[in-house]
Amino acid sequence: MREMESASLLLALDTALVDHGSWAGETHMQKAVYCAQALLQVPFGFDFVIYKHGPYSFELADELAAMRANGFLEIIPRPPYGPSLQPGPRSRLLANDFNELVGGQQEKLVFIARALGQKNVAELERIATLLYVQRKWADADPVQKLVELKPHVRREDATTAATELAKIQLGVTAQFGARAHGA
């Protein structure tokens, strides 16, 4: 996907996260983009690897930095925690240029914002990592694999995250059915 198209989807996702009460920091964006891509085939086009706190895209981090530099996003300090990403002063220009593309994905972006927006960073890490595990190691016990990959995650927290991910996946199927898989 071209850079400006991807940026327009990122702006729409950030806006949906903010509208649904999310902190909308970079971790929220990383995990929400991963889940939107993996669960709903939203065409962001980023590659993810397992990193310190779950699925992470270096390309996405670069894109978010470029969007801040271009005024499409801005950092809002939120002491005592980390900053939030909010639509920036030039965000309307980007949104207006890609209305059709974003409109076709808006329902999916809002779904992800509702499902993940209120989660804290630890919850996001566990849910997104479980999804990554399911996709990469289909034959593995996802809870066990999560605990192996992330030794700081307690088994009971991993089990809770598995239940939450299953609810999200059921919601995807109920709301989008085959459309979630690009049909």
Task: Tell me the per-residue pLDDT of 38-57, one tens digit each, with 9 for 90 and over.
Answer: 999 999 999 999 998 999 99
Q: Residue 42 half-sphere exposure, CB side, CA atoms within 13 Å?
A: 30
pLDDT at position 180: 65
CA distances for 24 relative to 17, 62, 101, 106, angstroms: 6, 17, 22, 17
Range of the domain at 119: 3-181
Whether residue 82 is predicted with pLDDT greater than 50 in this model: the reply is yes
Residue 116 has pLDDT above 80, yes or no: yes
- On the 0-12 / 13-18 / 19+ scale of CB atoms within 10 A, 77 is exposed
| Average pLDDT score over residue span 141-162 | 96
For 1-51, the pLDDT digits (tens) are 577 889 999 999 999 999 999 989 999 999 999 999 999 999 999 999 999
Q: How far apart are CA 152 and CA 141, in angstroms?
A: 18
d(CA 100, CA 49): 30
Residue 170, pLDDT above cutoff 50? yes
Q: Measured between alpha carbons, how far is residue 106 from residues 72, 81, 156, 176 in Å?
A: 18, 29, 34, 12
Q: How many domains does the chain have?
A: 1
